[in-house]
Amino acid sequence: MKIRWCGHSYFFIQTQKENTKEERRIVIDPFSEEIGLKPCQVEADILLITHQHFDHNNKKVVKGEYFLIDGPGEYEIREVYIKGIFSYHNQKKEPNTIYLIEAEGIKICHLGDLGQSELTPQQIEEIGDIDVLMVPVGGVYTISAKEALKTINQIEPKIVIPMHYKLPKLKVKLARVEEFLKVIGQENVEPQTKLSIKKEKLPAQTTTLLLKPTKFVQK
């Protein structure tokens, strides 16, 4: 499985069907250029939208005959299992969908624009054991760095990928990722271009990884 981060909460995941070279492409939360960043141009088989804000629902940049999921529910598309869990985006009680993705025996959780200071016992039970957690850390519109740490401790994933934080040219006011790294005590994390993972090579203890925002155009 390969994971690329296109900036903000926008991820592109490539996974292969077991014992074949057949690829499934999963896209999460593509953003609009209005936020000051240029979004990746990609094709998808599955598109996940956590909530209907312009910095998360720009379907126009995603090509292909994809299966769209934009709310809670359970789905199985081409042997990829997906579950959407209801959560709150902010104090106004706007909805946000937490997504669980399972493929190649790896379980991914994308928290979207989670605004709850902590997860409920029911949400924790529904999320279950997670290998890769994509968590917002920039505060303002989502949880803060300290709240993100609390959420990570509730889930206890193998890998943590911070998202939704301040980037150069980003017009949305967010905190820098360094604030989160300071809170978790890992201030020297070298960003990677992409993450390639296999179930059998996942770390034994929770590890935080940074991804560089990529500008690749998928051919």
The pTM of the whole model exceeds 0.85? yes
Q: Please write the tens of the pLDDT for every residue from 23-38.
A: 999 999 999 999 999 8
What was the pLDDT predicted at 20? Answer: 73
Distances (CA, A) of 37 to 12, 55, 113: 16, 10, 18
Q: Please write the tens of the pLDDT for every residue from 127-146.
A: 999 999 999 999 988 999 99
What was the pLDDT predicted at 91? Answer: 63
Residue 182 lies in a domain: yes
Which residue did the predictor score with more confidence, 21 or 158? 158
Residue 80 lies in a domain: yes
Name the DSSP letter for residue 152: H
H or E element at residue 207: strand 207-208
Distances (CA, A) of 69 to 84, 121, 218: 8, 24, 21
Return the C-alpha torsion angle 102, 204, 182, 124, nearest 10.
Answer: 40
What was the pLDDT predicted at 77? Answer: 93
Residue 142 lies in a domain: yes
What was the pLDDT predicted at 147? Answer: 96
Residue 218 lies in a domain: no
- For residue 83, the enclosing domain spans 2-208
Residue 214 lies in a domain: no
What was the pLDDT predicted at 53? Answer: 83
Confidence of residue 217 (pLDDT cuts 50, 70, 90): low
Residue 213 lies in a domain: no
Confidence of residue 218 (pLDDT cuts 50, 70, 90): low
Residue 170 lies in a domain: yes
Q: Please write the tens of the pLDDT for every residue from 9-19.
A: 999 999 987 77
What was the pLDDT predicted at 22? Answer: 84
What was the pLDDT predicted at 74? Answer: 97
What was the pLDDT predicted at 108? Answer: 98
What was the pLDDT predicted at 93? Answer: 76
Q: Please write the tens of the pLDDT for every residue from 147-196.
A: 999 999 999 999 999 999 999 999 989 999 999 999 999 878 889 999 99
Q: How many domains does the chain have?
A: 1
Residue 216 lies in a domain: no
Q: Please write the tens of the pLDDT for every residue from 81-115.
A: 999 999 998 766 789 999 999 999 999 999 999 99
CATH number of the domain enclosing 204: 3.60.15.10
| Phi-psi map region of 93: left, alpha, beta (phi>0 left; psi -120 to 50 alpha) | left
